[in-house]
Amino acid sequence: MPVEKRTGVPASPGRSAGPVVHMPPRVPEPATSRIEPDAVERAAAAVREAAVRVEEDLAERAERATGTAADILSVTAAMAADPTLAADAAHRVRTDHLTPERAVWDAAGTVAAQLESLGSPMAERARDVRDVRDRIVAVLTGAPPPGVPDPGHPFVLVATDLAPADTATLDPATVLAVVTARGGPTSHTAIIARSLGIPAVVALGEAADLAPGETVLVDGTDGVVLSAPAAADLLAAGLDDGDAGGGADTGTGPLVRRRPSARDVFDGTAATRDGHDVDLVANVADPAGADAAAGAGARGVGLFRTEFCFLGRGTEPTVDEQVDAYRAVLARFGGGRVVVRTLDAGADKPLRFLTPDHEDNPALGVRGIRTAVDHPEVLDRQLEAISRAARAESAEVWVMAPMVATADETREFVAACAAHDLTTAGVMIETPAAAIQARWLLADAAFASLGTNDLTQYTMAADRDLAGVAALSTPWQPAVLDLVRVACEGAAVHGRPVGVCGEAAADPLLAPVLVGLGVTSLSMTPRALAAVSTALRQFTLEQCRELAASALDKATARAARKAVRDFQRGGS
């Protein structure tokens, strides 16, 4: 069989090969059937009971998960617990005498349509609603619940798309690689895959053509999928048949496992070949994530997401609850720096007690620091909790606000932090406005951190989860790189450090470019620390600057990436 090459969008670096297993089909749509009047109340009660079972299952999984996976499962569990869907379905049972599964299906369809009418990013929540719908219907009908398949051997997972709750349960011990027809390089699928070290290619329109059981080679670094790879292809990718790792013979040929992309262990320090220090730190979302980061050698945290205290709740956590949660993270980095991001609510992370019930375009609405306009008390209580936690632990605590766009917002946030004795206050640069105005923002802020996921989304006007614009949703876009340069130059006017805490920081190919643009620290999933450290050691600071200049000089993201790849391979 000839080797067939298909090209999608690179989402998680690394190479792996193995047999294809497709995501099982979704729960089938129930027939429109009626029930007898005397069964109505039992059917309505069944809806509520099924929703509770789904919520409890997801919440239990969230407790076992860490980081972004735990956040995703918590949000999905909260959606299952929201009484709106179950109440609407129960009403349809009582009014139209529909079977409970049909009532749930129709009620979820109404909610999903409403979310889709709001546009991105709320339209993406429609996928979550349908996932919850399928889980409730599965409970009601006894059908197999949605989930990642378990064929009994390692495999390459192929799907049209993955619901966030499914993505959050990926097991790197069995899922060798992920290929999806939809999604983008900063979608939840891509972020989770990178955090787990699973190679991934997304927006591959021909994903459905990959035959179940056939061996494929997935190159998540270059976005390529090879069908029926030859031995030479495997060897060129650093793989061979001997990497089967004891996997069972499935009748589809030898299983081929990926080799770790990082050949050495991160020791907590990083520098270019000529000794220019680069601070490599970790992104952390909860205490379990802090344990993983410390275990991977991280000596500090460049992004501590505090949403885990708030997600899945109907009320704001108390100051004491927040203090305990923050201390659990700070305690793992005594003497190290921990950059705490204040609550990033809104858009795809709505909170009932804080964010508006309805916005026509939530991505451009009240999110991040903007929630403090109507609810300054929530920010004040969080800063109080961060300050108390900082005093109780020995970590060096910096604080930054998300979604800052103006100098006025910066000054107000810095003053709010100072009122709580938090003297190192910074801002996240996630909008083109903040990047362009960095010299004004950094006149007051002590540091900045570039959130490249949102910066790319807003710069390119491209939804990070849409396959149709996935090629636009990459930090390799010269326009995005130029904004990174502008932000670093603006910060340099005041001698302020600038970090990157978006997914771009975890890309070993892009990391030297970011350093060449003036970035002083890179914060990433702990699994990427060793690979990025190794990549930086290959170049002097001047070579990093040459890489950056070369990328900026290209007209397209593909050309910029190729130029850097050629340089690293010795093509310069």
Side-chain half-sphere CA neighbours of 374 within 13 A: 9
Residue with tokens 């792996």: 16
The residue assigned the tokens 């903040």 is 434
Q: Is the dihedral of CA 56, 57, 59, 60 positive or negative?
A: positive
- Averaged pLDDT, 531-553: 95
pLDDT higher at 473 or 355: 473
Instruction: Decide if 175 contacts 139 (C-beta within 8 A).
Output: no
Query: What does R_g of the chain's alpha carbons equal in angstroms?
Result: 24
Question: Is position 488 annotated as part of the catalytic site?
Answer: no
Among the residues of 118-183, which ranges form H helices? 122-141, 164-167
What is the mean pLDDT of the segment spanning 301-310?
90
pLDDT band for position 78 (50/70/90)?
A: confident
CA distance 131 to 79: 10
Cα separation, 67 vs 502, whole angstroms: 15
The predicted structure's pLDDT at residue 143: 86
Region 371-375: mean pLDDT is 78
Share of the chain above pLDDT 70, in %: 88
**What pLDDT score does 257 carry?**
53
What ranges make up the beta strands (E) of 295-354?
301-305, 337-341
pLDDT exceeds cutoff 60 at 253: no
Q: Which pLDDT does position 248 carry in this prediction?
A: 36
Of the residues 309, 417, 501, 544, only one is catalytic, namely: 501
131-503-73 Cα angle (round to 5): 25
Which element (helix H / strand E) includes 81? helix 67-81
Place of tokens 């939530």: 362
Residue 310 has what pLDDT? 79
Burial class (CB in 10 A: 0-12, 13-18, 19+), 355: buried
Q: Hey, what amino acid is at 329?
A: V
- Among candidate residues 22, 188, 375, 420, the one labeled active-site is 188
* pLDDT given at position 245: 36
pLDDT band at 435 (very low <50, low <70, confident <90, very high): very high
Output the average pLDDT for the chain. 86
pLDDT at 234: 82
Closest CA to 432 of 408, 453, 459: 459
pLDDT value at 243 more than 80: no
pLDDT band at 119 (very low <50, low <70, confident <90, very high): low
What's the confidence (pLDDT) of residue 165? 83
Whether residue 350 has pLDDT greater than 90: no
Write the secondary structure of 25-69 as one string of H (helix), E (strand) and C (coil).
Answer: CCCCCCCCCECCHHHHHHHHHHHHHHHHHHHHHHHHHHHHCCHHH
Neighbour tally for 228: CB within 10 Å = 15
pLDDT at 363 over 80: no
The stretch 335-355 carries a mean pLDDT of 75
Q: What is the mean pLDDT of residues 299-316?
A: 84
Distances in whole angstroms, Cα of residue 95 to Cα of each of 38, 91, 292, 357, 470 = 13, 6, 51, 27, 44
User: Which pLDDT score is estimated for 250?
Assistant: 37
Beta strands in 311-424 (DSSP E): 337-341, 396-404
pLDDT band, very low/low/confident/very high, at 52 (cuts 50, 70, 90): very high
Contact 266, 296 (CB under 8 A): yes
- Which range, of 335-349, 373-387, 487-501, averages the lowest pLDDT? 335-349
Which one of 355-369, 372-386, 483-497 scores highest in mean pLDDT? 483-497
The pLDDT assigned to 264 comes to: 53
Per-residue confidence (pLDDT) for residue 567, from 0 to 100: 86
Q: What is the pTM of this model?
A: 0.71
Q: Looking at 97-178, list the stretches that DSSP marks H as alpha helix, in order from N- to C-terminal side.
A: 100-117, 122-141, 164-167
Q: How many residues does the chain have?
A: 572
Q: Confirm whether 420 is a catalytic residue.
A: no
pLDDT at 59 (0 to 100): 85
Confidence of residue 465 (pLDDT cuts 50, 70, 90): low
